Structure 1
Amino acid sequence: VADMKSCAVLPPAISDLLLPLRELVAALSIRDRLPQIEVAVGRSVSSLVLRILEPLSAADEALLRRFADRHGVCFDLQPKGPDSVVRLHPPQGSLDYVLPEFGLSLPFRPTDFTQVNASINRVLVRRALALLGPRAGERVVDLFCGLGNFTLPIAACGARVLGIEGNETLVARARANAASNGLAGRCELLAANLFEPSDTLAHALAQADRLLIDPPREGAIAVVKALEEQAPRRIVYVSCNPATLARDAAVLVHEKAYRLEAAGVVNMFPHTAHVESIACFERV
């Protein structure tokens, strides 16, 4: 346990709450049954998700409401799994982030996966799409698409996009985000396991003009091994793990007839040793 008074990775407004939060938690009746607080920061709303193992008392709820009003944050409660999250206070205010270059707003729930740094995410999306170069009418496949962080900007460029994601809840969110941004007609969103070969994956890869991959730390070895002769001519690979990116790049270059055209990093995780990498591969 670290005695932290500030955190350089958190947005400053949230970092400034560490000491007040410590005092708040110490005053709660269930302080020993509150193992974590998860932070979700949107464009105009910041949510603190309390993982509670016992119900709050009326006095606890009153303390949380006063803290939320004083510091301009929202409290959500998570009594069980991620789907159990409910808003405590204030009742209004929803989370979203924007990609202004593409005219997009993406709502999300407090426990949904989003990139931790909204401003650097905008840089990441801009650079990835500049390398991918989607064109109107082309068929682009976005694997591990999540909420549509890359899917929707690709569609906004005029391409037809197939987004595939293993988490069905995120797929539903991506569909809703496509609809709310007027892009449902260019986006097809599917749920499928991308960590093993499947007919869905093989068919998607065979139909793609361009491919974007943004896997978790485990990488995308099943995807790169599934590429055949009808593979997309350009692949942009976004990675949070240099080791699995290097492993998968070796397969692309030495086994699948791709050439590394460009690579770079963005500082998604300031003040840490972690980086987000982008690599662009072209079919030889």
Structure 2
Amino acid sequence: MGHENKKRVYCLKAKPLYAAEVHGLYHQRVVQPLFCHCNANDELVALVVHLREQLMALDLYQVSKAYPDARWFFELGDRYYSQVTSFIHVTHKMVYFSGHLLPYDSPQFQSCAIPIAELLFNQGEFKNIDPVVHYHPRVKGLIDEIVSKEAELNRRFDQACALERLVDAMGELDEVTSVVNTDLEAHQHRLKMEASELSHQYDQLERDIEVLSLKMLYQCFQVQVGDWVASNVLTRGKTIQLVVASASYSNGWLFINGTNVTQKGVVGKRDERIALKVLSDEH
């Protein structure tokens, strides 16, 4: 592939992290870089692949490792700081870097994330996917977790909608409460805080479900985000080729989502989906 000889350098915007201080306040670190530079060379790609294999094998959410090759740029016209202690962090879908300067011993700042699919490129090597998922105990366990979290997700959604309606109804009572000298502002504030917490829980459940779906995909086919896959769609008699971006499970079907790959081996612009039937356990 033509891209394998190209040199790629990422210039990633850096953002500060905050740490709790002794008096319970949050304090921003004084020295903050503007950018993080890293070379997307073969060594980095190999490291990311290795760390993600560990992540999958150990059933983790994130794997981190010291990475001295990340360079942090602090001011325009200034040089790189060589004293930064840097780390690389790999999740199922993203790669990012963090760092800190002495005398601190925990991350002060981190870069924005790079999608793994973009970093790997995979060099056009396709993995063939069987249109069915074979049911076994590990798959069943993941499906049970997904179904349980989806039920919790639906409960959180219903609760958030009910709270939103209650807040709106209390807002319409302002004129009435002012007459009887009853202040509902404190109650409204508490309800809004509860609604915000429900929204946070909802988002976290969505992320958990996607991670479980990706684990299921890996368990069945050893396929991860960024891999190039091909599958025959039996009902249409054609082959779908895509770069894996995400996975999802619903009602006995595992879906692989991503960007299409053309017959010329070039990543296209169209979203594609491969639907895989999960076979029921016959025993």
Asked if these proteins are the same fold (TM beyond 0.5), I'd say no
> The TM-score by the shorter chain falls in which range?
under 0.3
Larger CA Rg, structure 1 vs 2: 2
Q: Report which of the two has the higher share of strand.
A: 2
Length-normalised TM-score, structure 2: 0.24
Determine which structure has greater relative contact order: mean sequence separation of CA pairs < 8 Å that are 6+ residues apart, divided by chain length: 2
TM-score, normalised to structure 1, is 0.24
